[in-house]
Amino acid sequence: MQDTKPLLPEPLRRFAAWCAVLLLLAGVVYVGIRLVVEFRTAVVPVLLALLGTALLGPLHRRLVKAGVPRSVAAGLTCVAVVAVVGGAVYIVVAALIDTGDEIVASLKQAARGVSEHFGAAGTSLDDLASNARELLGKFGGTAASGVISGVSVVGESVAMAVLALLLVFFFLRDSDKAAGTLRSLSPRGSADTLEAMARRALRAVEGFMRGTTLIALIDALCITVGLLVLDVPGAAGLGALVFVGAYIPYLGAFLSGAVAVLVALADRGFVIAVWALGVVLAVQVLEGHVLQPMIQSRTVQMHPAVVMVTITAGASVAGVLGMLLAVPLTAAAFGVVEELRARYGEEGESPTGES
């Protein structure tokens, strides 16, 4: 029999195979995203609970090691997080309420200054600043007045928050059973790999959450102190904004820093605004070159371009919540990839180092 030559050369066939794999993967990812969006009321609390469990896991383990029963330790941890989060929210809201008028007035003054130099564009900014509080009031009134859409959003958010807190309790209490459950559900021969992947992903998320929280606190304190020294109005509220924005890498710091500089420009003039910009840039340099390498050295390191693309994708899928969840979930995925690379790399090498 004569050997038949393939219709396509080998490089082109390999390229076609990779295209088929990528298309199949893209289809699976698309269907997965659509399912997550469709069942977001159930999926979002699970994701938030996993992040909360990763952040609170060390505290729970310390309580268990101290002799506290697992259920009691999980309950105490949840009570502690409710107290801390509730207190933090109260402080942030109180600071923003106390200094909100000053910040809005400063932004309005800055917009008027811009309108003197740039005409219509500045006038639009002035109108936006003037109507910001009215728009917020209308939104709050809509949510509180019984309008169906507003009530549904508020009710859904409260339900998801309560469900996430309950899931955190159960995840903490039964965390010792997670490995056994995962191994029992694993296909034959893959239990060790799946458990290692899960542990690596959890460590990545734990490191990200703890590191981001500590970095956000340091950034907020440094910028607040700098603004207080410069006598910028609303320093406490701006510091609170910096703390919240730090959970959205790069973009949150840029927006909160820009607001601080605008307020300084409006109330204290160009020179103080330049100093405020210097404070913001100095804190960002400190974060990027000192805090990030020191605090998050044990976590998965991601290139800034990957982080920005991840944040953009998260925002397109789930808005602000997607931006908050995108980076830790990507960190977990990077951890899994690193674990697989390490495992299969070791298995592919012989004791002499030859493949």
What six digits make up the tokens of 276? 């405020």
> Is pLDDT at 298 greater than 60 in this prediction?
no
> How far is 101 from 80, CA to CA, in rounded Å?
32
Spatial neighbors of 263 by CB under 8 A, at least 6 apart, are 102, 103, 106, 107, 110, 232, 233, 234, 238
Across 131-139, average pLDDT: 50
**Among 323, 329, 333, residue whose Cα is nearest residue 248:** 323
pLDDT, tens only, 10-36 = 778 888 888 998 899 888 878 887 887
Arithmetic mean of pLDDT over the chain: 74
Choice between 346 and 160, residue whose per-residue pLDDT is larger: 160
- Per mean pLDDT, which range of 53-57, 79-83, 128-132, 255-259 is the poorest? 128-132
pTM for the full predicted model: 0.64
> How far is 199 from 45, CA to CA, in rounded Å?
21
Across 263-288, average pLDDT: 82
Report pLDDT for 29.
79
Report pLDDT for 23.
92
> How far is 262 from 69, CA to CA, in rounded Å?
52
> Is pLDDT at 97 greater than 70 in this prediction?
no
